[in-house]
Amino acid sequence: MFETLLYDVADGVCRITLNRPQVYNALSPQLIREITAAVEAAGADAAVRVVVLTGAGDKAFCSGADLKEGVATGAGGLALGDSLRSGYHPMILAIRKLPKPVIGRLNGVAAGAGCSLALACDVLIAADEAYLSQIFVNIGLMPDAGSTFFLPRLVGPLKAFELCSTGRRVYGPEAAQLGLVSRSVPAAALDEAVREVVAYYAAAPTAAIGAMKQVLNQSLYSNLEDQLEQEAVHQDSLGRSADAAEGIMAFLTKRKPAFRGL
């Protein structure tokens, strides 16, 4: 089904692994299309309750755009806007619109658009040795693929400007301190840390998680009145769900709920 990534579903967990380790999982046009298709497939699969996104090997999550694969040219130079609109934008939007949690397993470098891809995840667990870098400035470009949206909201405008304009490396521990990642652990503990998070979301009420993700997305550019209405609309729908009925009954009978993602 896919040539540049690995796609596996088991026990409610979809694992998407960028599989171009020979180029540090750099984003070729084909890989970008396949990431988008894989995320959409996970969204359409009722058996999937949580997605894990990572890179093959132990050196890179994603090193950014594969410049050797070629970029479309236009009058006067590179047609980078067209490349973003046709490829990168659908990929990032697919992740943010997916009504299921996306857990990023940051096993190595996440640079350029690879950093944007990581920041699009809902939860990001990093190895201490892994780093994020807005490396665009080193080739005379600005951050794209959503980084100018995610960074100021995560770290504030001053720190966002510093990271964008210097392109410096932010390793796991500092990234956790700044709020760029959810947690940073030694490389040997990365898989166990990811397993713990995935186990929680695989057993969580998926519809409720998806609804809160959608409403939290909206909150980034909304007002209080709109947010209150969004909460009411989604809460009304969730109140009729099987998981809500199970959760309330479990609470009343003082037992652990058995959510089915319905």
pLDDT digits (tens, 9 = 90+) for 111-144: 999 999 999 999 999 999 999 999 999 988 999 9
pLDDT at 73 > cutoff 80: no
Position 234 in a domain: yes
Q: What is the torsional sign of CA 29, 146, 43, 259?
A: positive
Q: Among candidates 115, 103, 16, 104, which has minimal Cα distance to 62? A: 115
HSE-CB of 69 using CA atoms within 13 angstroms:
14
CATH of the domain at 241: 1.10.12
Looking at the structure, do residues 93 and 65 belong to the same domain, yes or no?
yes
Q: Tell me the C-alpha distance between 53 and 159, whole Å.
A: 26
Residues 173 and 94 in one domain: yes
Residue 255: Cβ within 10 Å count = 9
Residue 162 lies in a domain: yes
CB atoms within 10 A of CB 68: 8
Neighbours of 238 (CB within 10 A): 17
Integer Cα distance of 144 and 119 in angstroms: 12
Residues 64 and 188 both lie in one domain: yes
User: Does some domain include residue 151?
Assistant: yes
Query: CA dihedral defined by 18, 183, 127, 54, rounded to 10 degrees?
Result: -10
Are 66 and 164 members of one domain? yes
Residues 189 and 218 in one domain: no
Instruction: Provide the 10 A C-beta neighbour count for residue 105.
Output: 25
> Are residues 137 and 238 both part of a single domain?
no
171 and 222 share a domain? no
Would you state the pLDDT for residue 68? 82
Residues constituting the chain: 262
Is residue 259 assigned to a domain? no
Tell me, yes or no, whether 74 and 136 share the same domain: yes
Q: Which of 14, 212, 27 is nearest to 105 (CA)?
A: 14
Quote the pLDDT of residue 77: 59
* Number of domains the chain is built from: 2
Of the residues 202, 218, 242, which one is the last residue of a structural domain? 202
Using an 8 Å Cβ cutoff, are 4 and 36 in contact?
no
CA atoms within a 13 Å half-sphere pointing along the CA-CB vector of 242: 7
Work out the percent of the chain whose per-residue pLDDT is above 90.
76
CATH code of the domain containing 58: 3.90.226.10
Q: What is the pLDDT of residues 188-212, one digit of tens each?
A: 999 999 999 999 999 999 999 999 9
Please tell me whether residues 221 and 102 are part of one structural domain.
no
Alpha carbons 226 and 215: distance in angstroms, whole number? 10
Q: Is residue 235 part of a domain?
A: yes
Whether residue 262 lies inside any domain: the answer is no
Q: Mean pLDDT, to the nearest integer, of 151-176?
A: 97
Q: pTM, whole model, 2 decimals?
A: 0.91
Per-residue pLDDT for 233 more than 90?
no
Q: What domain range is 20 assigned to?
A: 5-202
Tokens of 17: 């692994």
Of residues 25 and 76, more confidence is placed in 25
The reply to whether 221 falls in a domain is: yes
Residues 120 and 19 in one domain: yes
Classify the phi-psi angles of 250: left when phi > 0, otherwise alpha if psi is within -120 to 50, otherwise beta: alpha
Residue 239 within any structural domain of the chain: yes
Separation between Cα atoms, residue 53 and residue 166, nearest integer Å = 27
Answer yes or no: do 155 and 68 share one domain.
yes
Together in a domain, 80 and 171? yes
Residue 218 has pLDDT above 90, yes or no: no
